[in-house]
Structure 1
């Protein structure tokens, strides 16, 4: 069977060319009343070196992966070498010119299954979600179903999408209404989808795109993340796969680290003690608009360097 490809979204928010794109789009297309909570903060675009360490974790824990695709906006990490196992995919290869530039990950990820030469089976990772233990592929691609991980904490209960809720909460509300109309016996699980790797099938994403064309069109109309148009790949796709029998639900208390949390130090300590036995973990940049030299952000790279000091084959030797 073909190997499983890996897909990342990545952006370097410190790139001056990219910053000019963002500033221009903010002036022309950003309506503050439509902006989702935390939808345009610096932390959403900041590069804390996670992708570099993510590839180190991938090489350590899942060396038999397939092609790596990094979806980005005309950017390339300075440390990344020209390795045949890595393909950079520019937004312009996936997204129509009239919709560019795009700063909403929910818009961008709606095109992942259109990546040229992408394998039928693939795993989608944000660069802040890491494998933390050896990957057993049959845990992710069982013959009968794919795993969908939910947080153990219940989501806030709302009947309608809320301007002051997070994108994940609003995505859950959208799923509840849309899936309730599609499936007469639909029972909505009152949990949020976990920050986890997503095991996906290209053909299944294409099937949902055909069935939910109006939702794909809506999310593909955004420039910045809108509270009125939640992402669909990070919630609705996953719940729909369960409804269709392509996936099964799992509740798992995965390790989630929030970089600005008052308990971040204890969370990092848990990561150090459990590293090598964690199926996956997330280090979320929640410092929002703090300066890049904030000590809480520097701690992220320090911990990752301690845990994953060995450069991967994808790095230019000697680069910092």
Structure 2
């Protein structure tokens, strides 16, 4: 594998406040058959699933601060563009219509959308895939993310998923874990022709993966489209996230890579913030205190159907602005920054860390339930 080329970055992004997009979403919801509507996963259509709280703006600032040698940036979106985005020869907006066939559109399931990422023309072999609520938090050392045979991964700090069939009341992460292990453990697949043989020492675990930057190999995704076409076809049939059709790129691909010696588990210094929790301010204060010593962090919007001016959303913006105040090259500085326009009276003050502050490798002490 050549390690000479730059490593591209892929984001998924949506502006859930856009009136045209909201009309499209509502029309798609009304067209759903009753059985499809009943199969919608938990939290699959809450506002927090689609809300833009300017996380992408700050994730790009973190990218430029901590990984300035990155390759091309691709932002996959549905006929939208951030109002603050500045044209750049290092960034391309990829419209759903240019990436996915008509039969896949419209879709509001990130698991469906991400199954097409490796089809982006010109995408580098090695790349990072981000949700826009994931951020680098310290200088990037590529050896910590990629190795000569593949890439490194991190487990989440959540308890193991129970060993049972997929459940309607389970999270997408839990059901994705179950589906992946079921597929990998199926003895009828042992006689099928395959490009690779599963490592006999591999043992499945019902742990879920951390919300992190996803190091990926494009060739592995193409290979898996041939190895597991039924899984790709199933997730590509969704309009909204379904409990019985969970994401595969954020679990199956990673677990398959572990089972075949392509991926390995590595401990990372990280933090996960759930914005809808009662101790949100405490979580954000801990994040700000550890910023610069965290290899990555995630700020997951779990405020669900909160209003735009909800203090919890303003708290997140205040924390992000305190950590990442400098615009990236991808921002049009003539556009008034959102952080300058929100009322600050309801927002707490966050102090930046003292130089040399240490981060913990496992920081989910409150046992927060993660959502995909």
Normalised TM-score (structure 1)? 0.97
1:12-161 alignment, distance < 5 Å: 12-29=15-32, 31-161=36-166
Aligned to 1:315: 331
1:98-146 alpha-carbon deviations (Å, 9 max, x no partner): 2211100000000010001000110001000000000011211111331
Q: Does 1:171 align with 2:172?
A: no
| Match 2:265 to one of 227, 249, 269 | 249
Structure 1 ranges of 4+ moved more than 6 A:
none
Distance 1:258 1:110 in 2: 25
1:259-298 alignment, distance < 5 Å: 259-298=275-314
Unaligned runs of 5+ in 2: 190-197, 338-372
| Match 1:10 to one of 6, 13, 22 | 13
1:211-226 alignment, distance < 5 Å: 211-226=227-242
2:178–2:206: 8 Å Cα contact kept in structure 1? no
Cα 1:61–1:184 change in 2 (3 A) is closer
Distance 2:173 2:308 in 1: 25
Q: After the TM superposition, which of the residue ranges 281-290 and 178-187 deviates more from structure 2?
A: 178-187
Q: Which structure's residues are more often strand, by fraction?
A: 1
1:19 deviation in Å? 0.4
Report the secondary structure of 1:174's partner residue. Answer: helix
Distance 1:241 1:191 in 2: 15
Root mean square deviation of aligned Cα: 1.3
1:243-298 alpha-carbon deviations (Å, 9 max, x no partner): 11111023556200000111211111111111111000000000011212111011
1:187 deviation in Å? 2.0
Report the secondary structure of 1:200's partner residue. Answer: strand
Report the secondary structure of 1:191's partner residue. Answer: coil
Report the secondary structure of 1:76's partner residue. Answer: coil
The structure showing larger relative contact order (alpha-carbon pairs under 8 Å, at least 6 residues apart) is 1
1:153 deviation in Å? 2.7
1:155 deviation in Å? 2.4
Report the secondary structure of 1:152's partner residue. Answer: coil
Aligned to 1:303: 319
Report the secondary structure of 1:7's partner residue. Answer: strand
1:154 deviation in Å? 2.2
Unaligned runs of 5+ in 1: none
Report the secondary structure of 2:272's partner residue. Answer: strand
2:8–2:127: 8 Å Cα contact kept in structure 1? yes
Larger Rg: 2
Q: Does 1:233 align with 2:236?
A: no
| Corresponding pairs, count | 320
